[in-house]
């Protein structure tokens, strides 16, 4: 007898499989437009056939996403640590960052292009997209140091930096990783969107071109590759999260 | 019945947001002006803020320029609004369903998380393939962007009443529907607005990107066309500025509506931020 939770997931899984099968049948029968809703079997076949194209484009996108991700997260983390020293400064910078969030990143990209060149712009777009969530979650995590913990460090002769290093950083790790995880879809999105500005290769521009050249199979294929890739990356960061934070209780306000 | 103390807190918060936004606008404009003149970008045709203002208000064609931007702005607002309404309805509806039937929630959660991990805007061409290039695709994109934060935060709000309060209602013979409407809904109002802070700028950005790639109207498309700078880049910068200002105004509007709504439904939350 399966547990209720497992049984429910099994039902959902079966529903998804059923949906795909129904899709295949309906497409073959012409019930749904087979041009737009290509048959799943054809999508898979196309993926195999064009595997070189998908690989090279994926690597191009991944390169930009990875560099931008590292840059954006590094700046966000560094800034969050600096800000945790002064709550007034933190308030001001957070509100200013809110304004940057309102800026349409994609629209200022051409403007950035004249200053840092095309590649630099693509990395910058990704960095901006991942920056804000990590900044928010890290500052929030660093703030979670309790007064008792602070007094303890002070009584042992430590200053603000010592509190930061010894306690705040460790307590904030779960929140930091939450920001790191959130940054993955953001980085992928930023990399893809920046390709629309005129890159020569990458999954984003490949998908747009496939649409323009009336190749719906490739549009679907790119979509599958993108979704699978994003999930894999997200899962990888999740692994790191569990490894680093496996010890922590998932409750707010717990003391180490 | 608005309690004076809570109203004061709300007004202070809105004033603080407005103040910071204006400050940031000034700072950005100054940086803009200094970089263009300092880095010599005006030789590339990059306009200074003053140059854009001239284009906007002082040239003989300015009225026409303004009309083009405002028309595009109206289209973008329309796209964002329709998507926001659809996304909110779905998000709120699902939140209510999930709160009433935890089993359905447990079963659907992996699917919902899956949808959310994938960046919708990245697979926009697929949406164009399926939904075409008209208003339907922008509504679909924006709705998907808006739906998840709304679901998360409204669920949070619906669940926030203390179990003892629920028991009180039950002891007075309230049906589950009454509990939902009279107790849970007011508590969810705060959650809806927390979601709106993310969802409203998100909706505008989603509309903007969808217009860029798909529909050929609105501010997104205006930015694309003005990138092929025929008469200098002023139109581009004006369009970008318009988009930014629109998003800022929308955000402040959310805070104002939130203050009014919370004053009516959940005054304790007004001071809580």
Tell me the helices (H) and strands (E) count for chain A, helix number first.
10, 0
B174 min Cα distance to partner chain A (Å):
29
Residues of A in contact with B130 (CB under 8 A): 36-37
What is the mean predicted confidence (pLDDT) over B50-58? 84
What's the confidence (pLDDT) of residue B31?
81
What residues 195-234 of chain A have any CB closer than 8 A to a CB of chain B?
196, 204, 207-208, 210-211, 216, 219-220, 222-223, 226-227, 230-231, 234
- A2 by DSSP, 3-state: which? coil
The residue among B129, B211, B247 with the most chain A CBs within 10 A of its CB, best to mutate, is: B129
User: Which distant-in-sequence residues (6+ apart) come within 8 Å of B114 by Cβ?
Assistant: A231
Residues B213, A208: C-beta atoms closer than 8 Å: yes
What share of chain B has pLDDT > 70, as a percent?
Answer: 92
Q: Which residues in chain A come in under a pLDDT of 70?
A: 1-5, 8, 102, 104, 106-107, 110-111, 113-115, 145-146, 163-166, 247-256
Per residue in B149-202, pLDDT tens?
Answer: 888 888 888 888 888 888 888 888 878 787 778 788 888 888 888 888 888 988
Residues A188, B121: C-beta atoms closer than 8 Å: no
How far is residue B25's CA from residue B42's CA, in Å, rounded to a whole number? 21
Asked whether residue B87 carries a pLDDT value surpassing 90, the answer given is yes
Residues A103, B244: C-beta atoms closer than 8 Å: yes
Among B46, B121, B128, the residue with its CB nearest the CB of A114 is: B46
Per residue in A204-246, pLDDT tens?
Answer: 888 888 888 888 888 888 888 988 898 899 888 888 888 887 7
What's the confidence (pLDDT) of residue B76?
92
Q: Which residue of B has its CA nearest to A211?
A: B125
The residue among B125, B216, B238 with the most chain A CBs within 10 A of its CB, best to mutate, is: B125
Q: Which residue of A has its CA nearest to B27?
A: A96
User: Which distant-in-sequence residues (6+ apart) come within 8 Å of B25 by Cβ?
Assistant: A99, B248
| pLDDT averaged over every residue in chain B | 83
Residues A211, B129: C-beta atoms closer than 8 Å: yes
How far is residue A25's CA from residue A22's CA, in Å, rounded to a whole number? 5
Alpha carbon separation from B122 to A189, A217, B4 (Å, rounded): 5, 17, 47
How far is residue A128's CA from residue B196's CA, in Å, rounded to a whole number? 21
């Amino acid at each position: 007898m399966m547990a209720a939770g497992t049984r429910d997931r099994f039902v959902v899984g079966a529903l998804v499989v059923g949906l795909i099968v129904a899709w295949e049948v309906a497409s073959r029968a012409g019930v749904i437009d087979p041009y737009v809703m290509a048959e799943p079997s054809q999508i898979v076949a196309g993926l195999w056939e064009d595997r070189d194209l998908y690989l090279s484009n994926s690597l191009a996108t991944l390169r930009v996403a990875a560099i931008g991700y590292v840059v954006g997260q590094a700046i966000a983390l560094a800034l969050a640590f600096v800000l945790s020293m002064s709550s007034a400064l933190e308030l001001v910078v957070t509100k200013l960052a809110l304004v940057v969030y309102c800026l349409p990143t994609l629209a200022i990209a051409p403007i950035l292009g004249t200053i840092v060149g095309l590649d630099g712009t693509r990395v910058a777009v990704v960095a901006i997209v991942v920056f804000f969530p990590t900044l928010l979650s890290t500052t929030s995590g660093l703030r979670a140091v309790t007064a008792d913990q602070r007094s303890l460090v002070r009584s042992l002769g430590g200053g603000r930096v010592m509190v930061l290093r010894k306690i705040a950083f460790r307590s904030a790790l779960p929140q930091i990783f939450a920001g790191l995880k959130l940054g993955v879809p953001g980085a992928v999105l930023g990399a893809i969107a920046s390709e629309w500005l005129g890159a020569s290769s990458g999954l984003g521009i490949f998908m747009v071109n496939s649409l323009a050249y009336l190749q719906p199979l490739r549009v679907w294929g790119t979509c599958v590759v993108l979704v699978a890739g994003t999930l894999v990356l997200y899962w990888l960061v999740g692994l790191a999260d569990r490894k680093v934070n496996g010890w922590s209780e998932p409750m707010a306000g717990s003391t180490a | 019945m608005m309690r004076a103390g809570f109203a004061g807190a709300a007004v202070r918060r809105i004033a603080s947001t407005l103040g910071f936004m204006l400050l940031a606008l000034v700072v950005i404009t100054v940086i803009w002006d200094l970089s263009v003149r300092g880095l010599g970008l005006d030789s590339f045709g990059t306009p200074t803020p003053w140059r854009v203002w001239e284009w906007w208000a002082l040239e003989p064609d300015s009225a026409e320029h303004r009309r083009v931007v405002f028309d595009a702005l109206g289209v973008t607002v329309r796209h964002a609004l329709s998507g926001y309404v659809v996304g909110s309805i779905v998000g709120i509806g699902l939140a209510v369903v999930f709160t009433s039937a935890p089993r359905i929630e447990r079963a659907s959660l992996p699917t919902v998380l899956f949808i959310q991990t994938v960046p919708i805007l990245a697979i926009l061409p697929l949406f164009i393939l399926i939904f075409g290039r008209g208003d339907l695709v922008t509504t679909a994109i924006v709705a998907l962007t808006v739906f998840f934060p709304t679901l998360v935060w409204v669920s949070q709000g619906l669940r926030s009443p203390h179990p003892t309060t629920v028991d009180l209602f039950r002891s007075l013979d309230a049906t589950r529907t009454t509990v939902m409407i009279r107790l849970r809904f007011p508590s969810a109002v705060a959650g809806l607005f927390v979601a709106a802070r993310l969802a409203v700028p998100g909706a505008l950005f989603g509309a903007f990107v969808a217009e860029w790639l798909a529909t050929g109207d609105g501010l997104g498309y205006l930015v694309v066309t003005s990138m092929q700078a025929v008469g200098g880049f002023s139109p581009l910068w004006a369009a970008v500025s318009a988009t930014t200002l629109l998003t800022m105004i929308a955000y402040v509007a959310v805070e104002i509506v939130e203050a009014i709504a919370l004053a009516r439904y959940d005054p304790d939350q007004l001071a809580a931020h």
